[in-house]
């Protein structure tokens, strides 16, 4: 499921839903679901139970109906006209939302050939979708109560200009592959590959894994999630096969801090995810969470259960380049010194033993290949 919420009125939410339906209906059976919680409709006044259609749903606390027509005056009709295989409207009381969702999933016989596009704020407190977007009208900064309760869960705030009728993202930036949703962030992913690989004894970035190089594997995981991907390395020729920009250090021999500085200067975005070329498996859900936390911080990085942090699997704002330059000008090379002057949030690593691997030695690499081939 991809879920679309709205900060207020006139946010283009249904228009975005229709654009996604048009895109994905070419490959999947798209089921659209519009959710209405009655105490938040009309003027925000609760609908008295005695005023509802008691034959339809008062005994259950909800009603689930299928939209058959293509009435352009109705949100459900517009979604049907956009190409949705089926469109449903779930309305009811908040406390019965979970039961209504269960009934919906049973009714559509959900399977791998179907995807769900759901319009709702309140449903986010009941279900965790593959991707949760919240639309906001840049001409109206107000926020309704139902959105305040869920805005912290948003994977992306979609900015809608009601005068130009345009979004700051396109349906082409939203993808669904092998059961996972992704969205290309207005951010840059930086893969650092400038190390000497002295403990490995050979270039780590070019080690084979599942028929590709480690750096190629990392780049493939990032491509559906970032508007820009750049490589930090001093040998441009070595990485021509990636067809990505390769940014050399401004001064060689000054370690990963110089690599971070050089690539941040080249980045086209304020938000940047930095990852070393020896971390082959990326938990993109966790990466999105780090980026979501960047609003109030300059750096967000993982902290393991052992108390160690990982500065080469972290998110940096481009604005830290000033502090980095001061360190480099002073002859400093330790990344940890940056954290004394920057606002850093340390975020616990989830399930670190299941996915997080840092391949520094031959033994690390051999164990990784053995585990991933099982």
Domain residue spans of the chain:
2-182, 185-372
Any idea what DSSP says for residue 12?
-
Is residue 11 within 8 A of residue 72, CB to CB? The reply is no
Q: Which of 227, 133, 112, 124 is nearest to 180 (CA)?
A: 112
pLDDT band per the 50, 70, 90 thresholds, residue 39: low
Question: Kind of pairing, strands 246-247 and 271-276?
Answer: unpaired
Number of H helices, E strands in the chain: 10, 19
At residue 56 the predicted structure's pLDDT band, cuts being 50, 70 and 90, is low
Lowest mean pLDDT among 113-117, 122-126, 179-183, 353-357: 353-357
Does CATH place domain 2-182 in 3.10.450? no
Phi, psi of 19 (to 5 degrees): -65, -40
Q: Which two tokens stand for residue 173?
A: 């930036």
> Strand runs (DSSP E) across the chain, as ranges?
2-6, 29-37, 62-67, 86-92, 114-119, 131-137, 156-161, 166-167, 174-177, 180-183, 185-192, 208-209, 212-213, 226-232, 246-247, 271-276, 299-303, 313-317, 344-348
* Average pLDDT value for residue range 182-186: 89
The second-level CATH assignment, the architecture, of 185-372 is Alpha-Beta Complex (3.90)
Structure confidence at residue 198 as a pLDDT band (50, 70, 90): low
Tokens 């585990």 map to which residue?
371
Q: What is the pLDDT of residue 149?
A: 94
Q: What count of other Cβ atoms lies within 10 Å of the Cβ of residue 263?
A: 27
Nearest to 131 by CA among 304, 34, 1, 42: 1
Dihedral of CA atoms 97, 103, 109, 110 in degrees, nearest 10, equals: 10
Lookup: tokens for 298 = 């300059």
Q: What pLDDT score does 51 carry?
A: 52
pLDDT score recorded for residue 42? 43
Q: What percent of the chain has pLDDT over 70?
A: 93
Q: Cα–Cα distance between 301 and 312 in angstroms, integer?
A: 8
**Residue bearing the bigger pLDDT, 367 or 229:** 229
Q: Whole-number mean pLDDT of the chain?
A: 89
Q: What is the pLDDT of residue 58?
A: 55
Strand partners, 212: 209
How far apart, in whole angstroms, are the C-alpha atoms of residue 254 and residue 249?
8
Cα torsion 46, 50, 55, 61: sign: positive
Judged against a pLDDT cut of 60, whether residue 204 lies above it is answered with yes
52 pLDDT exceeds 60? no
312: pLDDT strictly greater than 60: yes
């Amino acid at each position: 499921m991809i879920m679309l919420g709205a900060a207020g009125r006139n946010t283009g939410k249904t228009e975005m839903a229709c654009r996604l339906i048009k895109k994905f209906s070419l490959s999947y059976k798209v089921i659209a679901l519009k959710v209405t919680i009655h105490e938040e409709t009309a003027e925000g006044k609760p609908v008295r139970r005695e005023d509802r259609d008691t034959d339809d749903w008062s005994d259950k606390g909800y009603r689930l109906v299928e939209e058959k027509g293509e009435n352009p005056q109705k949100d459900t009709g517009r979604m049907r006209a956009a190409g949705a295989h089926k469109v449903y409207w779930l309305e009811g009381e908040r406390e019965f939302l979970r039961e209504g969702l269960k009934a919906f999933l049973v009714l559509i016989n959900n399977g791998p050939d179907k995807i769900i596009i759901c319009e709702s704020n309140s449903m986010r407190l009941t279900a965790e979708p593959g991707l949760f977007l919240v639309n906001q009208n840049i001409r109206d900064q107000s926020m309704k109560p139902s959105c305040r309760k869920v805005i912290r869960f948003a994977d992306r705030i979609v900015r809608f200009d009601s005068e130009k009728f345009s979004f700051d993202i396109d349906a082409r930036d939203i993808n669904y592959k092998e059961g996972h949703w992704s969205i290309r962030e207005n951010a840059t992913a930086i893969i650092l590959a400038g190390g000497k690989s002295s403990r490995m004894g050979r270039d780590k970035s070019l080690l084979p894994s599942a028929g590709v190089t480690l750096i190629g594997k990392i780049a493939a995981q990032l491509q559906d999630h970032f508007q820009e991907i750049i490589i930090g390395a001093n040998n441009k020729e070595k990485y021509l096969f990636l067809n990505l920009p390769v940014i050399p250090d401004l001064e060689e021999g000054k370690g990963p801090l110089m690599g971070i500085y050089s690539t941040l200067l080249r980045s086209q975005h304020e938000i940047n995810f930095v990852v070393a070329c020896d971390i082959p498996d990326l938990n993109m859900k966790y990466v999105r969470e780090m980026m979501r936390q960047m609003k109030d911080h300059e750096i967000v990085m993982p902290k393991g259960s052992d108390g160690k942090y990982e500065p080469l699997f972290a998110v940096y704002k481009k604005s830290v380049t000033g502090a980095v330059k001061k360190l480099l000008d002073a002859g400093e090379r330790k990344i940890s010194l940056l954290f004394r002057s920057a606002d850093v949030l340390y975020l616990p690593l989830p399930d670190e033993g299941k996915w997080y691997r840092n391949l520094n030695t031959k033994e690390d690499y051999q164990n990784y290949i053995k585990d991933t081939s099982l």
